[in-house]
Chain A
Amino acid sequence: MRVRRRTRMVVDMTTTAILSPPTPATTIRRSAACAVEATKTYGARDSIVHAIDGVSIAFEPGRFTAMMGPSGSGKSTLLHCLAGLDTLTSGSVRIGDVDLADLSDRELTLLRRDSIGFVFQSFNLIPTLNALENITLPMALARRKPDQDWLDHVIDTVGLRTRLAHRPSELSGGQQQRVAVARALASRPEIIFADEPTGNLDSSAGAEILTFLRNAVRELGQTVVMVTHDPTAAAYADRAVFLADGRIVDDLADPTAINVLDRMKNLGS
């Protein structure tokens, strides 16, 4: 990998210290991704808006985290900043050992390509490429041959074997989203970010996608961070983090639809 790695032991220690109050039970070995004092503001002076306001959080490897919160809570902004799609106003974000602030645009692109997988709510696929081409796109961009065994495994897991030659317009919404998940898994990234992956799907297709994501974590050891506002979706995760007004207000291990709904109600009031 051509990404410059700068290890800063200090940061690791700080992160541990900062993160201890809200989640005392969690022991942190090494985080797959973390944010430290992350702040993102829009506007200036009088009309300043804090999309995220000093958020510090770490995501352990091999876990499925759901980020919840009402509209405008900053959950999507946080996800975009974590994934290197957007930049912070202050604070830092790291993927593995890499501080994103240290990366040039090119290095950031390579990091996204090689270490991050994406699943978005909609428009996840390139309409001119067929399913297989979409799945292998990040590797093709890297001019890297996909690991055929792994690829077969992923394709079978998401059940797309018979659909590989189809263009996105010839697939159902659920199938399209499965292609997107397969693409995210195929390059074995360090972490997968999913932004409302079931937002445009009916409940059974949505359940399918969430099961895939959970299986990827349980069986393949993948790390997944998912933004959602659906308590049912959050129930698939190992951990639910709640945001409101740009801050983390709650953190729940092994969430269920019921207790997530409770927390949401509290946030709303």
Chain B
Amino acid sequence: MIATLTLKQLAANKLRLLATAFAVILGVAFLAGTLILTDTITGTLNNALAEADAGTDAYVRGTSALTLGYGESGPPLDATLLDTIRRTNGVDQASIEVLGYAQILDKHSKAVGSVNTGVHGRNWVTVPELNPFTISSGRAPAGPDEIAIDKRSADLANFHVGDHTTVLSTREPRQATIVGIVRFGALDTPGASSVVLFEDATAQAVLNEPGEVDAISVTAQDGVSSDTLVERLAPVVGASNEVISGATLTTEHQDQIGKDISQFGTFLTIFALIALFVGAFIINNTFSIIVSQRTKDMALLRAVGATGRQVRAAVLAEAAITGLVASSVGVVAGIGVAKGIESLLSALGADIPLGTTVITPATVTISVAVGFVITVVSAVMPARRASKVAPIAALRDIAHDRSAVSTRRVLTGTVVTSLAVTSLLVGLGAANAKIVGAGAAALFLGVSVLGPVLARPVGAALGALIAKLRGTAGMIARQNAMRNPKRTARTASSLMIGVALVSFLTIFAASVKSSGAAAFRDDFRGNTIVDSGAVDSNGGFSPQLAADLITQPGVRTISEQRDAVVETNGSPDVLSALDTTTIGTLFDFGHITGSLGQLAADGIAVEAETGPHPVQLGDARTITFPTGPVTFTVRAIYASRPAFVGDQFVDLSAFEANLPVDIDSRIYVDAEDLTVVDRAAASYPTAKVLGTEAFIDLQNGVIDTILTLVYALLGLAVLIALLGIANTLALSIHERKRELGLLRAVGMSRAQVRSSVRWEAAIIAVFGTLLGLATGTFLGWAMVQAIADQGIDRLVIPAQPLVIVAAIAALAAVGAAVMPARRAARIDILTAVATG
């Protein structure tokens, strides 16, 4: 019986539940889309990698001392090992592998590819079984002036076989002819990287030291298994090297890709969860409104004998069916979302070749389960309220959900908010993202619990302004926004979340930018920076540039910077090496104990520490390079860390001693004139020559780019919130049919009705926006406090962007009110005034 009732109610409320369903669909679609996209990328790359390594039976390489699980290359192998391996019993063929940094220039002398998506140089493996690449057009590179490039880069730069180009590497730029265009299995290129292939000898000369190779790949003779081959090779490769099977190599490669993709997936999933969190508010609101509108029906049910439990079950069943249907639709829509994100990424230059769309049972299960659970959980409170409707309510005239603000609400809200704030501050202090996230979610809940307390006074204040401005329509908008503070607050809360996150990020980013800029202006004593844009040790430009630069007249001082991924105390870290003979004159380090210039290859400079056991000159610091742990002696302690210099650094000579390849990420310069530096860097297009301010702008630009992406992703949460506003208004208008009819009867024009609905939306939106701005500002403040010791010491609350955010949110809400307003204006007067 209750089941029949549920179905009938659903049928009767299709339209009212549509917005709820939409909120679930959007959130679930984004979640499913993320899962589908990551699965598809992983699947495509896994297949390509398996195919690429298919012919390799054994793989010999230097053992890396790093245990980061990123397939860090170990120290290089001696090229003569190739002959030893070839002579080993069971080996059919073997080939060297040389890997490094190389990048070509397009026809406008711009670098092709970016260090952030991968720029690789490799040798062309002449053994077909061991070569992951296949010729698409042209032929393999044969001489020192010949290269092959991947098809994606060729297409991007419009290169064809026979074209000439310049190749950048860690050596001097060199001219080359493109003789071949290659593909990586079924893909145009591995991932989104760009690849330059050389013949063996050239590869060694350009990418590595002559006589050194990065790995040797081996095929087994017929009848010899991969495992047997590994066993036989193990004794001959030498103690510092290791040999693994082709299958292990594939797994390693796939794991690395898997890690990258899953980080990317986690990033996107956070936004899907935010969207669903906002959706939960809308679901809760919709069910609350529906329940209050159906009070009479429920009371009648109770009067004729339904138990409270049955009424509750009916509401929950309605939520369950809505959740299930919407989540299922969401999963299907997820396929489209996956395609959408892919196009977005490709528009940002990170296009990833995709094979068949992968929809795993896990994707479907997780997405549907998440959508379903969120819908049902959000409906629990309204369902409880429904079950408490007294049978006598059926006989009373419609009771308005007056619900004065209860002391319990104030208490609960205050407790939740305080707990949230505590958890946030603790989480930030401990740099624990999970605690911070839970704290933020709890903060939103706490503020939304307190929302109704604020809704009446804030609504009254805002409304008074509008009433003054818009006359009666404004006054009615004000009264309507205030008449049900819970509803107004719930609707506003969903908008609050998006606005809070946007304003938090705006404040945080502005603080980071401003602090960084101020610190750099204060600390930098030079006037020019040559920057590669490289993060970590992915790429950069040849040290040859620095060598060229120092010989230029007008260049007074330079200091190169190189970065490498290392391990300190077992965790990954990026270590910088600087030219320590000059860095002290280019940056202000405050008081220095010891001497920066005396570091040599085994010394390290560290930032002064506070605490019971501060670091002292002569202390030992162990840093693990791929070749193994190296112990450095503290030879300099600096009082204050300049911007862009970490809490420790070593001299360039330390990198030269411990890393196979030298590549500069940045050069700090003091020169008479920027043009002098410009001229020297002209033949290194990956090196950008920037003045101090331009450098600051560039750094800030990177932050802005990330910010834009995050704003776009948060747009989903805001969109769902707007949907919620539209839905709440539509439901409210449905409820106020008679009232609107009466207003029309006594002479309110349709335009005035529309205007009053729009202004009501504006009041709700501005209320939500104000809550959001306040919460976001608090989050921004807390964040800046937490990382003040990392040089982010300025809290900047940029008025203009925040005002724009608020204005956009309010305007969008008014836009969302267009349809409900129109519907309100069309209400038939007679439905209001016709006597029973």
Contact = CB atoms under 8 A, between A and B. Distances in A.
Given A126-B476, A140-B471, A141-B752, A113 B746 contact: yes
B81 to A, nearest CB: 87
Nearest to A113: B747
A76 B400 CA distance: 29
Given A106-B749, A112-B747, A127-B400, A85 B830 contact: yes
B835 A110 contact: no
Contacts of B738: 123
A76 B748 contact: no
A105 interface: yes
A267 B345 CA distance: 80
Contact of B479 (A80, A114, A120, A128): A128
Nearest to A130: B479
B285 to A, nearest CB: 20
Interface residues of B, number: 29
Contacts of A127: 400, 483, 739
Interface in B821-836: 829-830, 832-836
Given A126-B476, A127-B400, A128-B476, A120 B746 contact: no
Q: What DSSP secondary structure best describes chain B's contact surface?
A: helix
B483 A121 contact: no
B747 to A, nearest CB: 2
Contact of B744 (A80, A86, A109, A122): A109
A133 B475 CA distance: 10
B750 A141 contact: no
Contact of A112 (B475, B480, B745, B835): B745
Residue from A86, A123, A125, A183 with most neighbouring chain B CB atoms (10 Å): A123
Interface in B394-443: 400
B747 A142 contact: yes
Interface in B789-836: 829-830, 832-836
B833 A120 contact: yes
B479 A196 contact: no
B472 to A, nearest CB: 4
Residue from B480, B747, B834, B836 with most neighbouring chain A CB atoms (10 Å): B747
Residue from A105, A114, A141 with most neighbouring chain B CB atoms (10 Å): A141
A238 interface: no
Nearest to B752: A141
A84 B257 CA distance: 72
A18 B750 CA distance: 36
Contacts of B471: 140-141, 143
Contacts of B836: 121-122
Contacts of A121: 835-836
A199 interface: yes
Interface size class of A (residues with CB under 8 A): 35 or more
Interface string B740-759: 00111111111110000000
B745 A85 contact: yes
A183 B829 contact: no
Contacts of B749: 106, 109-110, 113, 141
A83 B835 CA distance: 15
Contacts of A195: 833, 835
A183 B743 CA distance: 12
A109 B740 CA distance: 13
Interface in B491-513: none
Interface string B196-238: 0000000000000000000000000000000000000000000
A124 B750 contact: no
A249 interface: no
A129 B476 CA distance: 8
Nearest to B471: A143
Given A133-B475, A143-B471, A195-B835, A126 B747 contact: no
Contacts of A124: 742
Interface string B766-802: 0000000000000000000000000000000000000
Given A76-B834, A128-B483, A199-B835, A106 B750 contact: yes
A123 to B, nearest CB: 5
A141 B751 CA distance: 11
B826 to A, nearest CB: 10
A199 B745 CA distance: 19
Given A76-B834, A143-B471, A199-B835, A126 B750 contact: no
A196 B835 contact: yes
A122 B836 CA distance: 9
Nearest to A117: B746
B742 to A, nearest CB: 6
A2 B70 CA distance: 79
A133 B751 CA distance: 20
A110 B750 CA distance: 11
Nearest to A199: B835
Nearest to A114: B747
Contacts of A128: 476, 479-480, 482-483
A146 B390 CA distance: 45
A118 B746 contact: yes
Residue from B471, B746, B836 with most neighbouring chain A CB atoms (10 Å): B746
B745 to A, nearest CB: 6
A120 B747 contact: no
A156 B826 CA distance: 37
Interface string B712-745: 0000000000000000000000000011001111
A138 interface: yes
Given A127-B739, A128-B480, A133-B475, A122 B750 contact: no
A124 B830 CA distance: 13
A141 B479 contact: no
Contacts of B833: 80, 85, 118, 120, 123, 195
A118 B745 contact: yes
A86 B835 contact: no
Contacts of B476: 126, 128-129
A183 B833 CA distance: 16
A199 B483 CA distance: 28
B747 A141 contact: yes
A80 B744 CA distance: 13
A83 B833 CA distance: 12
A141 B755 CA distance: 12
Nearest to A107: B749
Contacts of B744: 109
B479 A123 contact: no
A120 B750 contact: no
A3 to B, nearest CB: 12
A244 B437 CA distance: 72
A188 to B, nearest CB: 13
A80 B830 contact: yes
A138 B830 CA distance: 18
Contacts of B832: 123
B472 A85 contact: no
A125 B746 CA distance: 10
A76 B476 CA distance: 29
29 contacts: A76-B834, A80-B830, A80-B833, A83-B745, A85-B745, A106-B750, A112-B745, A112-B747, A113-B746, A118-B833, A121-B835, A123-B738, A123-B833, A126-B742, A127-B739, A128-B476, A128-B479, A128-B482, A129-B475, A129-B479, A133-B475, A137-B472, A138-B746, A141-B472, A141-B748, A141-B752, A143-B471, A143-B472, A195-B833
Given A106-B750, A138-B746, A195-B833, 5 more contacts: A86-B830, A112-B747, A120-B835, A121-B836, A126-B743
* Complex A-B, nearest 5 residue pairs according to Cβ-Cβ distance, in ascending order: A113-B747, A128-B479, A121-B835, A140-B472, A109-B749
